[in-house]
Chains A and B, each alone.
Chain A
Amino acid sequence: MLPQANTDIREVRNYPEQPPVIPHSIEAYQLDSNVNQCLSCHARARTGESQAPMVSITHFMDRDGQFLASVSPRRYFCVQCHVPQSPVKPPIANRFVDIDALLSATAPARK
């Protein structure tokens, strides 16, 4: 398995809805129905001690729009959306451009 990036520096999101990527290694973290080790730092009550960002409040909402006391079961498995990174060189370049680059490329030239 490739080593995971462990910089602890937040990565810029490519689009506003992008789930932020995990800027640290999560190797051997336990994430199952018994234990969510991510929450040992990112749970609301734990952020004081860990200084980690809190799980977003949007994750407390169930499918009926009701806010729960903590992470909703449907948002429980973090790595469904949030993933660690590995420093690799992609064999095929990504042509994605973000909205800012797109807007400035298509904006009419000012005189």
Chain B
Amino acid sequence: MSLQRNDPTTLAGSLQAGARNVRGWARRLWQRSRPLRQRLLDYWQILISPSQTLSLGFLSIGGFLAGIAFWGAFNTALEATNTETFCVSCHEMRDNVFQELKTTIHYSNRSGVRATCPDCHVPHAWTHKIARKIQASKEVWGKLFGSITTREKFLDKRFELASHEWERLQANDSLECRNCHAAISMDIARQSQRAASAHQRSLFTGQKTCIDCHKGIAHRLPKGAYDFGMTQETAALRDFLQVGDK
């Protein structure tokens, strides 16, 4: 089977004046795309024809080994970008959110068990992990174009960034929290009265999810996270003094 590249006869077919007279855009498109269809068909013929120079063994075993190598490399790269070391290798993360995490119970506590960045920010199940990774490619864009090169830029963007995480956790019923904190394993007798009744009332009934009440558990809350109870006067005073978020 030979390729008919730049075959004037097929190309000419679509350029015939007659094609213009055909009624209906779909039919016109079908006729005009004939050279493209022809070429795809040619490639398909190559794909389904037996190999002429490479042995079957080379192709099958080699293909199998190449597959292992590709998959291994893919997963290694995936896991390498799924570590805290990788996250804090950028100053955007290291100087801002990571410093805040260090003061919280998810980093420093009596038992020494701790959460790393991806524990909370990347889903553990493979499909969802890939989806999140594709989403996170936007962060590479942000890094390349310097959207958070300074502390001030971070503070300006912080509410929006936090909102994305809150929305994500609200949508997946706080999946990343529940990877460690299972409602079924909560001994509410060992919780404070306040926590026990809140969990019984809202969590066990499914009315609320973790993030609804536990925003800011591992980082400082941005301006605007809880504006209720803050008067316009307080907000105005805050903006006038331009204080906060140290």
**Interface residue A94 (Cβ < 8 Å from any Cβ of B):** no
Q: A36 with B230: in contact, given A6-B192, A28-B105 (CB under 8 Å)?
A: yes
User: Which of A7, A8, A25, A39 has a CB less than 8 Å from the CB of B229?
Assistant: A39
Alpha-carbon distance between A51 and B221 when the two chains are bound, in angstroms = 23
Q: If A33-B238, A34-B245 touch, does A73 touch B225 (CB 8 Å cutoff)?
A: no
- Interface size on B, as a range, is 20 to 34
Contact A34 B221 (CB under 8 A): yes
For A62-90 the 0/1 string (1 means CB < 8 A from B) is 10000011111100100000000000000
Please name all residues of chain B whose beta carbon is closer than 8 Å to the beta carbon of A70 when the two chains form the complex.
Answer: 228-231
Question: Which residues of chain B are near A73, meaning CB under 8 Å?
Answer: 231, 233-234, 237
In the assembled complex, the Cα of A28 lies from the Cα of B232 at a distance in Å of: 26
Which of B105, B193, B198, B245 contacts A50 (CB under 8 A)? B198
Assuming the A-B contacts A33-B241, A35-B223, are A24 and B233 also in contact, with contact meaning beta carbons closer than 8 angstroms in the complex? no
Known: A8-B193, A32-B245, A33-B244. A76 touches B230 (CB 8 A): yes
Chain B contacts for A40, CB-based, 8 A = 213, 226, 228-229
Indicate if the CB atoms of B192 and A71 lie closer than 8 Å: no
Residue of A nearest to B104 (CB): A28
| A71 adjacent to B104 (CB under 8 Å) | no
* B197 touches A (CB below 8 Å): yes
**Cβ contacts under 8 Å, B230 to chain A:** 36, 39, 70-71, 76
Residues of A within 8 A of B222 (CB): 34-35
Report if B138 contacts A (CB, 8 A): no
Within 8 A of A (CB), among B179-202: 192-194, 197-198, 202
| Interchain CB contact (< 8 A) of B244 among A34, A46, A68 | A34
B220 — which chain A residues lie within 8 A by C-beta? 30, 34-35
Bound CA–CA A50/B228 (angstroms): 14
A72-B238 contact, Cβ under 8 Å, with A24-B192, A30-B221: no
In the assembled complex, B216 has its CB within 8 A of some CB on chain A: yes
Assess whether A44 is in contact with B229, with CB atoms less than 8 Å apart. yes
A49 and B241 alpha carbons, distance in the complex (Å) = 33
Query: Does B243 interact with chain A (Cβ within 8 Å)?
Result: yes
| Cβ < 8 Å to B, chain A residues 27-59 | 28, 30, 32-37, 39-40, 42-46, 49-51, 55
A51 to B228, CA, bound (A): 16
CB distance from A39 to the nearest CB of B (A): 3
Contacts A24-B194, A28-B104, A51-B197 hold; do A37 and B226 have CB atoms under 8 A apart? yes
Chain B residues in 8 Å Cβ range of A43: 228-229
Please list the residues of chain A having a beta carbon within 8 angstroms of any beta carbon in chain B.
6-9, 24-25, 28, 30, 32-37, 39-40, 42-46, 49-51, 55, 62, 68-73, 76
Q: Can you offer 30 A-B residue contacts whose CB atoms are under 8 A?
A: A8-B193, A8-B194, A24-B192, A28-B103, A28-B104, A28-B105, A30-B220, A32-B245, A33-B234, A33-B243, A34-B220, A34-B225, A34-B238, A35-B221, A35-B223, A37-B221, A39-B230, A40-B213, A42-B229, A44-B229, A46-B228, A49-B202, A51-B197, A68-B233, A69-B231, A70-B229, A70-B231, A71-B230, A72-B231, A76-B230
Closest 5 A/B residue pairs (Cβ): A43-B229, A39-B229, A33-B244, A8-B193, A34-B223
Interface residues of B (CB under 8 A from A): 103-105, 192-194, 197-198, 202, 213, 216, 220-226, 228-234, 237-238, 241, 243-246
